[in-house]
Structure 1
């Protein structure tokens, strides 16, 4: 099990990976995506401009 690392957590918040993760997570929690909807990397990347 990986130990919690605050420094890594803060860095991830501002990294591209961290911002993409946060946006997708927020969209899932907000109901933007339907339950059991397949999230395709290429489509998400295009939507997020990455």
Structure 2
């Protein structure tokens, strides 16, 4: 992170439940919701690495 310097530091940025819900609403309306048992985290960093390996 040293390469980004202070411009990448946002110490007081925190997700808000309302913002997360607004982002999820379109997918939910398309029927893309899953049960809690099926929910899995998405690791964007893993996807970037996998894309580079291909």
TM-score (norm 2): 0.28
TM-score (norm 1): 0.29
Q: Which has the larger radius of gyration?
A: 2
